[in-house]
Structure formats: structure tokens, C-alpha cells
Amino acid sequence: MGSTPTRIDRAPWYAKKAYSSRTIQVGGTAVTLMQPTFTTDRGLIDADTKIRYMVEDARSVLSRAVLIPDANRISPLLGELFNPENKMDFSPSMAWGTIKPKLIKIQKNLAAPHSIKVVGTLDTGGMGSVKFYNDGTGDIHLAKRLFEAGLRGNATLTYLHEASHKYAGTVDHAYWKKLTGVWRDNRIHWCYDPKITNDQALNNADSFAFLLYHLPGPNWRY
Ligand SMILES: [Zn+2]
């Protein structure tokens, strides 16, 4: 009836998320932590410590992984993650020949200065994302809830998963998931969902993240 609603133009900042950024030193390397400035996307509490622990844990496991002299030392783990087809002639050394150069790329890049965006929610609805695979642009995004209590290790795991996309060009053929009661013993099993081939596993982000996750050593504080 008569009155036209006032049209409010959206300010330019509405379309593009505004981030506050701070640079922290982790092992002498600058890591830029970016968080949305909006109150609806409130930032991490005690962010510096959490990010520092996560980066330290990731670097620690990566630096050990790239020094593994002989793939046979971790052959059960390589078999579990990189031989989903259960091939009799699976060779841990051959798989390692493909895996190791990718781990070196991830290790070098996470040891260098980089940015990490921690956001309340991701467009994908997942725990992490990175926009462009394997071209070095686009920040690693992590969901804030990864740093909440009860999700120990998940931030580091997700960080490694996203870093494998960003720096080693991995894709998501399948996620490594916990399934209960799918075998007769009714225990919890982990497997790829959906099933993938051995070749796909060699370029699958979760295969790399969980390989690193299962190597002995770090505390996985975040
Ligand atoms: Zn992914």
C-alpha cells in the first residue's frame, strides 16, 4: 500500500569476507593467521597457541616421514592405505616412490611462510577447503570447530589433507572413514568410502593425511 520499501545497497564489504590477520612465528617461520572480523564468525579463542601447535605437529610428522629410508618399515600402513584393491603384487617401495615426492612438496611448503584461514563455517560445509589445487594460490581454510575440545588431532589432520591438495595436487577420490559392523567381527573398521583403486589412492588427499596421521610420533595437540 503506497510506501516503497527502502532499498539498501549492500556495502562492498558484504560480498567479500573481511579478515583480520596476524602473523605469528612458528619455529622462526611467519605463519599468517586470518580470521573473519564479523561477530557472527567469531574467531578462535587462544588462536596463536592452537595454530602454533597444529603447525608444529604437522611439520614434525612431515619431517620424519620424508626421512623414512625404507618403505618396508611402514609396509603394513602403506598396504592399508595404498593397496585398497588388495593386490597380491602390491609393492610398498613402488608406492613410496610416488608418495614420497608429494610428501616432500608438502613438507617444504608448510615449512615456508604461508597463510591459514580459520572460519566459522565453510561454503562446502566440511572441515577444510582450499580453492585451487596444486597452483599455490588460495589459502588453506579450516573450520573453527576443529579446534574445539573432543576433536583432538582433527585440525592437524585436516590441515595436512588441505595442504596435500594445495601443494601436491591431490584430489578427493574417497574419504577414509570409520565404519562399524561392516564385517562379521562387528568391530570398527576404517575403509575408503567410496571404494577406490590403488592408482587413485596415490593421488587421494585423505590417503596422505591418514598416512601421516598414523606415523608414530607427534602428540596431535590440535
Ligand atoms: Zn579434500
Distance 156 CA to ligand 1 centre (A): 14
Distance 185 CA to ligand 1 centre (A): 31
**Three-state secondary structure of the chain:** CCCCCCCCCCCHHHHCCCEEEEEEEECCEEEEEEEECCHHHCCCCCHHHHHHHHHHHHHHHHHHHCCCCCHHHHHHHHHHHHCCCCCCCCCHHHHHHHHHHHHHHHHHHHHCCEEEEEECCCCCCCCEECCCCCCCCCCEEEEHHHHCCCCCCHHHHHHHHHHHHHHHCCECCCEEEEEECCCCCCCEEEEEECCCCHHHHCCEHHHHHHHHHHCCCCCCCC
Select 16-171+203-214's CATH number: 3.30.420, 1.10.357, 2.60.40, 3.40.390.
3.40.390
Distance 83 CA to ligand 1 centre (A): 20
**pLDDT tens for each residue of 26-52:** 999 999 999 888 755 667 888 899 999
Distance 16 CA to ligand 1 centre (A): 23
Q: Which residues surround ligand 1, an ion (CB under 5 A)?
A: 172, 205
- Domain ranges within the chain, ordered by starting residue: 16-171+203-214
**pLDDT tens for each residue of 48-94:** 999 999 999 999 999 999 999 889 999 999 999 999 999 999 999 99
Distance 161 CA to ligand 1 centre (A): 6
Distance 200 CA to ligand 1 centre (A): 14
Distance 196 CA to ligand 1 centre (A): 15
